[in-house]
Structure 1
Amino acid sequence: MAIQFLRGNSRAPKGHAIFIVRNRSNTQNIFCTYCVIPPIPMSIAKYIPPLLAAQLPTEELQDSDAITGMPIPPIPEEGQNLEYLEMLAEYRDDDLCEIGTVSSKDDMSRMNLAAEGCQEYGQLYASYIANLQTQKRTESHFTMEELDADSLVLHAMPDRQKLAELGKLIGTARYAIGGHDQKLLRETEQKMLSLSQTLAEKYRGGELVAAAISSSERGSKLSELYLSRAYKLLDEEYADIPDIEKAIRELKDAS
């Protein structure tokens, strides 16, 4: 099995993911489950009733320290469309992964696919955590001395002010593009990147910056849509976001 990340990064799994399984006879029809990797190692054997424990392999009961993914529910359920799951993953900051196709009438295959997907996702997560333990993570351990005055100001800004500044910089970037001022465009891009990196991933700051510095008219429209989407997230106006997401997809598909 090869898990496909529709949202998130296989090199840095979050430890919680929405899994989707497509119906083999109709790929628009999907099943879904939720995979959770316990952050604290635990022995499942401690919580299994003796009668049930007697039916499980001894090696599984003894492997108490392994990081194991758990699909909830065990059998992927039908009933949600992909657009809704994408929106849900965005709001909850979950990974969104496609794990394969299966017959809609084969519950056992669905259950096995979910279990295998969780096992593979758990291995990716375990590798990521192991790497974190051996690497120096300077990104999240900077000191006051390591930050210049501009960085301190950016980190102290509330999100609304950051978005307002990004809006101004979008205008500057478009002006630089229109005037073929590469120096101004590079300076503006750097400011936007520095600012976007202080925002949560859900705001898609990197995509906003990429659109803003694009020389195409489509880039201008995309950057405005990304900014509008960020404000809707900030104001928790979630009902308006699907229309913006649709407009973004249509612009991207038109390229």
Structure 2
Amino acid sequence: MDLTFERGSMDAPKGHALVYFRSSQDFDDCWATYIIVLPILVDVAKYVPPFLMNQMGEIGPKDLSSFAFPPAPEPVDGYSYVEELASAREDDIVFGGTVNPDDVSSTMMRVNEAIGWYAQAYSDSRQIPGEPEAAETSEALPGYGVSEVLYDLMSDGDKLGELTKLVGRLRDAVESGDDGLTAETQSEIDVLGRRLPDNHQIDHLVQAAKVAGETGAKLANLYLQRCFHLLGEEYVKLGQVEEDIQALEAGGTS
């Protein structure tokens, strides 16, 4: 994803930016959202009434370190409006490329990528020269807020479909030796996995997918099959798959 500063600097982001996109259907149309990187970490759980805690899940102080609103870009009155607004508010302006406004899921993902990119640039600019990077920098910039929204809206079947795509991407990253993509994809699988039942054993699936070679491919496929059989309550097939997994993990053949 190509993102460029048109106001402000990559070396010194302000922490708040108007991110605009051009429509792939009409390049003159502008669509925009607003990104904020919070200067202070907030433990949201402290402000949630007790009766809502179960619905909120485990939200830590780093889960809202950066976000965009609206979550998908909305139409604005041209680029001149973006310039005037940014000038009045002293915002950065970032160009995010072209999008299809009718594909809301895709535009939300593009915004999510922009959040991670801008938040990382902000974090890098605050790093004191000569000091080692904080060990938890990557954790402080979740970059998956929009993904979480999308996953929460998915049915269990759709979640497994998305999981299958992510596992395929993880396998490609492992086989190509791309450590960065491996870590990134594993993190997104972790986000999705938290929205699936514990008995799906997503952690075992990830470990299997990270095994290079044919064995890893077979194990990952078996663990995926296991998830689908659990969802479909196909317990006879589930038992067979679990036997195949045990045999393969023990060094046998399936």
User: Which TM class, normalised by the smaller chain length?
Assistant: 0.3 to 0.5
Q: TM-score, normalised by structure 1?
A: 0.45
Q: TM-score, normalised by structure 2?
A: 0.45
